[in-house]
Structure 1
Amino acid sequence: MRPVALLLPLSGERAALGLSMQRAAMLAESDAKLMFALDTAGTATGAAAAAQAALKRGAAMILGPLTSWEASAAATAVAARVPVVAFTNNPAAQASGAYVFGITATQTTTAVLRYARSRGVRSVVVVGDGTAWSNAASEAAVKAQRDLGLDVRAVAVTAGAPLPAIGDAPDAVLVPGSGDAVLSAARALRDSGVQLLGTVQTLDHRPSAIDALDGAWIAAPDPAAFGSFSAEFEARNGGDPGAIAALAYDAAKVARTLRDAGRLSREGLLGTESFAGVTGAVRFRTDGSCSRDLAILVAAPDGYRSVATSRGA
């Protein structure tokens, strides 16, 4: 039986995260003969060398690496001989042949806008802070407006500056992240009666953030599913695994599901209807992207609760 290789930064500045991801993956596949880890050191050169080592050891599939530059280097080194399921959320890695398994800005933005449209929202203003995620969410919202029947406008805010004029009051305001400038805008807009929307990176458990986001609809993985995974991880390893470690757990489950079905291959990856996971059920596409089911959460004083599911964002 051919094994699966897990490419992670087990040395360097992201070593602690890499170790947490390795431990999470081993919850889904504990047999070292069926899954082994290789260190990328968090660099493109290290990722390419690790990918080549994985091929020499007979790997049928590569899970990882973590970043887009590592993923591109690994996929290029592999040259399509085996699938590379990378943990990055940067769609740029698809160009190298890697599958982008991270939760992308497009997935979570589209999911929350689809839900908002189903609830009667017709106009949305996206309030960004200039970060890469915020910019990607704004771009995704603008691209989705025709398909969803929405009118979308985007404005930018900076810390300490007043909220720019947004014209006629929209039905909803999308805040892609949870930076101080965005949360300040969210607090002001919430008090005006506008419906707030958020993405997975809007989730913030600080009391001040929850207060600012009270009543917001947010697209993210189901907290109940993550809670079960987190409890299992803590019982085995101690500590909080974090959301990125959950991706490693889900990827290892994908590989195990395919092995159990005798389909540990690119054909199996693309031909399977859906893979269940802590970060949402996913289906892989031929272009290297994934469709992902996400929960729609509502922010409340006691936290976030799930009220709906957005299918295949």
Structure 2
Amino acid sequence: MTSRAQSRFGRLAPSLVFAAFLTLAGCATSGPPAPISSGKPRVEPSQDRQADRDRDDERGSLHANGLEIDANGLPKPLRGKFTPEFLKGKDLVRAGVLLPFSHPNAGVRAEAEGMLAGIEMALFDHAPDTFVLLPKDTAGSKSQTVEMAEQAQSEGAEFFLGPLFGSSVAALNEERKLAGIPVIAFSNDRDVAGGNTWLASISPEEEVSSLVEYAISQGFQQFAFFGPQSALGQRIETALQFEANQKGARVVATGFYPDGSDSPSSEARYLAQSINSAESYGPVAVLIPERGTQLRKVAPLLAYHGVSRSVQLMGLSGWDDPNVWREPSLKGGWFVAPPDVDLQSFETRYKRIYGRAPTSLAAQAYDAAALAISLSADGDLDRREILAEDGFVGLNGLFRFTAQGTAERKLSIYEVSPGEGATLIHEGGTRFDPDIG
């Protein structure tokens, strides 16, 4: 549940309007959805939108509950503000949901469906029946994102949940017709935040900050980086340099290797030698920002090339995966992730309702929707309320938005224990310092 810090709001009436819209959305797929959170920036691919429109025209239109929907099962544009017959005369709050339901990539489509499911759960948990969702299909296209946002605006949307990709968020920010409408987006690209755009995602920079802060509290003043020579890898290494410098520590060695390399032995050998030399000045913590199979291939290389046994391995939330905890070289390694108590309950409920595990961003979508429902109870999203210094409690722990439009979070630290899983060794904080920056 998402609430103001140090408070919880009670369960409110479910949104019948959303249930009707969900029927129209036609987003169900067979089989479990494949998460798209690969650890790389969420970038939308280019595509031929005209070909898609021509194909949709050939399929024709469908009708349900008196509303016209397109071939993807999504509502077609309405004339004027959308008001269900049984809610006429009531003061409604309308939110546009901008997600890529018909994206060419199956994993992206599945993630969009999972996020919409998370939003649905938040509505049934927290929303009155006067809170109405207007789901719109961005298809992963910048131009269609703007088109769908304008459509939602004409139907009465007062703010947006989404989009997913940074380029789509940037396109909204540049559209004058949409100026002033609050956007709670899910991009992990900090460059598109600010103004009336807030990013509900958990950024790599925030994860690095939490990890470095904990390592320093455990006596580490020296850090090293071993990761891919990619845009994201460089971004994470820059964050490591920044956080170490800010806290009076230093990065003693960096080992970049070609992105996707299965066995960067020469880079591992160089880094191991550099780390061993630096250990005469104190212990070293090494950040390896990989995940999955790639992590299991890369992590053992440092030990193979003779890195000191006292070196502390560290990772980001990509390590939060039972499949990698079996890797012997990761034993005792630390990784950062949201507190798992509420997330476990959410996953159990999600599985019971939808018959499959939640996608990687479903809980973030839940938190964003629950927050929007709470803050819009008086009719709009007020900037001062969004910037509340005490923050909000969500499924992903305590968080608050900064004046720059990013989310600051209190994340937890876990230790890998092969055969036992991952053990919580540092719980995320329960309060923020007053100065939000």
Query: Is structure 2 residue 172 aligned with structure 1 residue 74?
Result: yes
CA distance in 2, matches of 1:47, 1:33: 22
- The match for 1:39 is 137
Aligned pair in 2 of structure 1 residues 172, 272: CA closer, same or farther (>3 Å)?
A: closer
- The match for 1:25 is 119
- The match for 2:416 is 299
Can you list the C-alpha shifts for 1:205-229, whole angstroms capped at 9, x where unaligned? Answer: 2156543322111111122221111
Describe the SS at the equivalent of 1:107: helix
Aligned residue identity for 2:187: T
In terms of mean alpha carbon deviation, does 274-283 or 116-125 score higher?
274-283
Please give the TM-score of this superposition, normalised by the length of structure 1: 0.91
Contact 1:28 1:253 in 2 (8 A): yes
CA distance in 1, matches of 2:327, 2:383: 42
Aligned pair in 2 of structure 1 residues 92, 207: CA closer, same or farther (>3 Å)?
A: closer
Contact 2:131 2:373 in 1 (8 A): no
Aligned residue identity for 1:115: Y
Aligned residue identity for 1:228: S
CA distance in 1, matches of 2:134, 2:349: 21
- Flag the structure with larger Rg: 2
Query: Is structure 2 residue 210 aligned with structure 1 residue 107?
Result: no
Aligned pair in 2 of structure 1 residues 18, 32: CA closer, same or farther (>3 Å)?
A: farther
Describe the SS at the equivalent of 1:34: strand
Aligned pair in 2 of structure 1 residues 272, 47: CA closer, same or farther (>3 Å)?
A: farther
Contact 1:76 1:96 in 2 (8 A): no
Aligned residue identity for 1:177: E
From 164, 188, 191, the counterpart of 1:92: 191
Contact 1:184 1:212 in 2 (8 A): no
In terms of mean alpha carbon deviation, does 28-37 or 226-235 score higher?
28-37
CA distance in 1, matches of 2:350, 2:179: 33
Aligned pair in 2 of structure 1 residues 207, 296: CA closer, same or farther (>3 Å)?
A: closer
Quote the sequence identity (%): 27
Can you list the C-alpha shifts for 1:28-60, whole angstroms capped at 9, x where unaligned? Answer: 014585223111111111111121122212222
- The match for 1:117 is 216
- The match for 1:270 is 387
Please give the TM-score of this superposition, normalised by the length of structure 2: 0.66
Describe the SS at the equivalent of 2:184: strand
- The match for 1:165 is 270
From 140, 155, 160, the counterpart of 2:255: 155
Q: How does 1:126-275 map to 2 (within 5 A)?
A: 126-152=225-251, 153-157=253-257, 158-162=261-265, 163-166=268-271, 167=274, 168=277, 169=279, 170-178=283-291, 180=293, 182-189=295-302, 192-207=309-324, 210-260=327-377, 264-271=381-388, 273-275=390-392
Contact 1:39 1:50 in 2 (8 A): yes
Structure 1 residue 98: Cα displacement: 2.4
CA distance in 1, matches of 2:309, 2:365: 41
- The match for 2:82 is none
Contact 1:122 1:150 in 2 (8 A): yes
In terms of mean alpha carbon deviation, does 276-285 or 117-126 score higher?
276-285
CA distance in 2, matches of 1:310, 1:147: 20
CA distance in 2, matches of 1:127, 1:66: 28
CA distance in 2, matches of 1:192, 1:184: 18
Computed over aligned residues only, the root mean square deviation of the Cα atoms, in angstroms, reads 2.4
CA distance in 2, matches of 1:278, 1:75: 28
Aligned residue identity for 1:28: A
Query: Is structure 2 residue 150 aligned with structure 1 residue 59?
Result: no
Query: Is structure 2 residue 122 aligned with structure 1 residue 5?
Result: no
Contact 1:210 1:299 in 2 (8 A): no
For these two proteins, the number of residue pairs brought into alignment is: 313
Describe the SS at the equivalent of 1:250: helix
Aligned residue identity for 2:93: R
Can you list the C-alpha shifts for 1:62-98, whole angstroms capped at 9, x where unaligned? Answer: 1111111111112333644221111011112126752
In terms of mean alpha carbon deviation, does 182-191 or 58-67 score higher?
182-191
Describe the SS at the equivalent of 1:243: coil
CA distance in 2, matches of 1:236, 1:26: 11
Structure 1 residue 261: Cα displacement: 6.1
CA distance in 2, matches of 1:272, 1:9: 32
CA distance in 2, matches of 1:246, 1:15: 16
- The match for 2:397 is 280
- The match for 2:13 is none
Describe the SS at the equivalent of 2:397: coil
CA distance in 1, matches of 2:231, 2:309: 28
Contact 1:85 1:101 in 2 (8 A): yes
Structure 1 residue 241: Cα displacement: 0.9
CA distance in 2, matches of 1:224, 1:136: 30
CA distance in 2, matches of 1:230, 1:179: 20
CA distance in 2, matches of 1:143, 1:52: 39
Contact 1:65 1:87 in 2 (8 A): yes
Can you list the C-alpha shifts for 1:159-192, whole angstroms capped at 9, x where unaligned? Answer: 2231141212452111112265554442344672
